[in-house]
Amino acid sequence: MLRRRLLLVSLIVCILGLYVFIYVVGVFKVKNAEEVVSVRTFGGGGEDVFYYVFPTTRGELLALGYTKSEEFVVDGDADALIVSFDKELNIRYWRTFSIGLDEALFRATQLKDYICAVGWAVDGSDYYGLIVFVNKNGNIVSKRAIPSSTFMDVEPFGEKLLVAGSISVRGDADFFLVILNGVVIERNITFGFGDSKDILYSVYYYCGSIYCVGKRIRTSDLKQEVFIAKLSEEGAILWNRTLREDYWGRIGYSDLIIYEDRIYISILRERLTEEGNLICWESDIACFDLQGNALWNKTFSSNVELNAIGMYIDKFGIIYLAGEIINFDLNPIQQLFLAKLDENGTVIYNETLAPFEGNIGTIGSSIYIDECGFMYIVGSNVDLNIGRIEDAFILKLGKDTDNDGITDFYEELYGTDPTKIDTDGDGFSDGIEVIQGTNPLDPNDYPSTRLENEKQFLLVIIIGVVLVSILLLVLRKSILRISSIKRDV
Ligand SMILES: [Ca+2]
Ligand SMILES: [Ca+2]
Ligand SMILES: [Ca+2]
Ligand SMILES: [Ca+2]
């Protein structure tokens, strides 16, 4: 009898312990995201640029680019730069990296235990393709610089990596796809036109095929065109096509993303008069099927420049573009450009922003959207009085009216109420439910271990009191029983 009581007491103590543990772990780690529009700059006296931002599996945001420590720079002063931010834009760590030349990192991808970043190193007119492996502590564990090449993009390729860029052969450049096993080149695929300088800007591995976009500059007439191709895993070209063949203005950059069997390409290019004079720089966003047939095209233009080179597609299929607009009607004249399009190319949002005070221009380079709809844009700002790039920046954007951690835009897409913290009334905010992966519209589906608001706090107290009372009752009975046994003895 006594043993059974003791067993019961231990069981209740265990339950209480577990209960307190779940409560502490659950409640104190959960905090509603603030309604923020925040910006953080990174840099010193020289030039600092972020080219790319992406989330790692560790919940951080990594920004890549370069840093120049001195105001007046000479060759070799630019170093590759990696900065890790949390989602509140606090810097977790930053690293610079140099091989004695001018280095920059341009794109990166997540591998199982490492981040692989690619870019270039410049030595006068010589270019090196740069590849860097970074471990989870932000330390560079291996690196390689491949002569006569430039690396523009990297993509996981099974256990290996696909790197895209260009390689120079006797002064001419060819499209260059490298298959890497670590830093070891396992295979490379070069293809080009023989009469042009060719560079791949972006590569994407999708359903067993390789898709890439680049540009070619024909040496005879300097005509520039955008080239897209689909290749087999072995490197055979399955189809290819050039875009804007009638066109010979310069191409600034092009990016490629595939989402649900559709290829999306952004192009930064010049628009010229018939006489060949520059009107402006403008951006196209074009959509193709997997056979390369054009589905739609949309152009964004301004009177001087509009670049929309930062492209991201979220899980709802919304296309985001971030970049820069230069327009003499704006004050300051150079601002951040941001647009959202639906899958049919309809613009659902289009805005210019000046996040810095004073005569400071803003150049957006890359954009990422988290699961709650917050947008993170990186780039660099420009002192417009002297026309010089100053600091790299990261900007977090998103309107969250009810402060439940989900932006108003994403509440619309999730179908939750943008003015109600807990749409389905199950005691868990819409934000917590989205982060925990439960249905914010189903009161019977809610997170099991994370507790959040006062209602639950009260419930926790009540259940706690009941459990403690039972424990005391059982203990008292045991003590009484023990004393009665003693009396009997
Ligand atoms: Ca909200
Ligand atoms: Ca809500
Ligand atoms: Ca809820
Ligand atoms: Ca729910």
Task: Please indicate, yes or no, if residue 46 is contained in any of the structural domains.
Answer: no
Identify whether 123 is part of a domain: yes
Please identify, among 346, 369, 392, the residue that sits at the C-terminal boundary of a domain. 346
Ligand 3 centroid–CA 46 distance in Å is 48
Query: What is residue 31's predicted lDDT score, i.e. its pLDDT?
Result: 31
Ligand with an atom nearest the CA of residue 455: 3
Asked if 119 and 104 count as a contact pair (C-beta separation under 8 A), the reply is yes
CA of residue 14 to ligand 3 center, whole Å: 29
pLDDT at 13: 66
| Ligand (nearest to CA of 424) | 3
The total domain count for the chain is 2
Domain boundary among 315, 346, 377: 346
Is there a single domain that holds both residue 19 and residue 166? Answer: no
| CA distance readout (Å), 272 to 165, 280, 307, 342, 348 | 27, 7, 16, 29, 28
Q: What is the pLDDT of residues 430-447, one digit of tens each?
A: 999 999 999 999 999 999
How many residues does this entry show for the chain?
Answer: 489
Query: What is the number of the ligand closest to the CA of 419?
Result: 2
Q: Do both 233 and 277 map to the same domain?
A: yes
Residues 6+ apart with CB under 8 A from 40: 85, 89, 90, 91, 393, 394
What is the CA(83)–ligand 1 centre distance, in A? Answer: 29
- Give 31 Cα–ligand 1 centroid separation in angstroms: 14
CA of 84 to the centre of ligand 2 (A): 29
The answer to whether residues 1 and 136 belong to one domain is: no
Q: Are residues 1 and 125 both part of a single domain?
A: no
Does residue 245 belong to any structural domain of this protein?
yes
Residue 285 one-letter amino acid: I
Q: Ligand 3 mean position to 451 CA, how many Å?
A: 11
Range of the domain at 469: 1-28+451-489
Note whether residue 398 is domain-resident. Answer: no
Residue 418 CA to ligand 2 center (angstroms) comes to 4
Among 291, 317, 346, the domain boundary falls at: 346
The pair of structure tokens assigned to 92 is 């977790």
Three-class HEC string of the chain: CHHHHHHHHHHHHHHHHHHHHHHHHHHHHCCCCCCCCEEEEECCCCCEEEEEEEECCCCCEEEEEEEECCCCCCCCCEEEEEEEECCCCCEEEEEEECCCCEEEEEEEEECCCCEEEEEEEEECCEEEEEEEEECCCCCEEEEEEEECEEEEEEEEECCEEEEEEEEEECCEEEEEEEEEECCEEEEEEEECCCCEEEEEEEEEEECCEEEEEEEEEECCCCCEEEEEEEEECCCCEEEEEEECCCCCCCEEEEEEEEECCEEEEEEEEEEECCCCCEEEEEEEEEEEECCCCEEEEEEECCCCEEEEEEEEECCCCCEEEEEEEECCCCCCCEEEEEEEECCCCCEEEEEEECCCCCCEEEEEEEEEECCCCCEEEEEEEEECCCCEEEEEEEEEECCCCCCCCCCHHHHHHHCCCCCCCCCCCCCCCHHHHHHHCCCCCCCCCCCCCCCCCHHHHHHHHHHHHHHHHHHHHHHHHHHHHHHHHHHHC
Burial of residue 245 (CB within 10 Å: 0-12, 13-18, 19+) is exposed
Ligand minimally distant from the alpha carbon of residue 444: 4
Q: Which amino acid is it at 286?
A: A
CA of 458 to the centre of ligand 1 (A): 24
Place of tokens 């063949």: 245
Q: Write the CA distances from 25 to 434, 436, 445, integer angstroms.
A: 19, 14, 20
Of all ligands present, the nearest one to the C-alpha of 405 is: 1
Cα(411) to ligand 3 centroid in Å equals 12
The answer to whether position 477 is within a domain reads yes
Both 92 and 232 in a single domain?
yes
Let me know whether 135 and 185 are in one domain: yes
Nearest to 397 by CA among 413, 374, 369: 374
The CATH number covering residue 300 comes to 2.120.10.10
Distance 357 CA to ligand 1 centre (A): 28
Residue 446 alpha carbon to ligand 3 centre in Å? 7
Residue 205: which residues within 8 A CB-CB, separation 6 or more? 155, 156, 157, 162, 211
**CA 65–ligand 2 middle distance (angstroms):** 36
| Residue 351, in any domain of the structure | no
Centroid of ligand 3 to alpha carbon of 445 (angstroms): 8
Compute, in angstroms, the gap from residue 310 CA to the centroid of ligand 2: 29
Dist. CA 339 → ligand 1 center (Å): 20
Could you tell me if 150 and 262 lie in one domain?
Answer: yes
Q: How far is the CA of 427 from the centre of ligand 3 (A)?
A: 6
Question: Do residues 190 and 325 share a domain?
Answer: yes
CA 444–ligand 4 middle distance (angstroms): 6
Centre of ligand 1 to C-alpha 373, Å, is 10
Which ligand has an atom closest to residue 438 CA? 4
What is the predicted pLDDT for the residue at 74?
A: 58
Ligand 4 centroid, distance to 443 Cα (angstroms): 4
Whether residues 182 and 96 share a domain: the answer is yes
Q: Is residue 205 part of a domain?
A: yes
Nearest-angstrom CA–CA distance, 295 and 350: 21
CA of 442 relative to ligand 3 center, distance in Å: 7
Are 7 and 150 found together in one domain? no
Q: Quick one: which ligand is closest to 408's CA?
A: 1
pLDDT at position 23 is 46
Q: Which residues of the chain have pLDDT under 50?
A: 21-36, 450
Give the sheet arrangement for strand 102-110, strand by strand: 102-110, 115-123, 126-134, 140-147
Same domain, 136 and 182: yes
The bound ligand whose nearest atom lies closest to the alpha carbon of 439 is 4
Same domain (yes/no): 194, 242: yes
Q: Is residue 419 part of a domain?
A: no
Q: State in Å: Cα 424 to ligand 4 middle.
A: 6
- CA of 464 from ligand 2 middle (Å) equals 30
Peptide bond into 447 cis (omega under 30): no
User: Could you say which ligand is closest to the alpha carbon of residue 447?
Assistant: 4
Give distance in angstroms: CA of 452 to centre of ligand 3: 11
Task: Tell me, in angstroms, the distance from the centre of ligand 4 to residue 328's CA.
Answer: 49
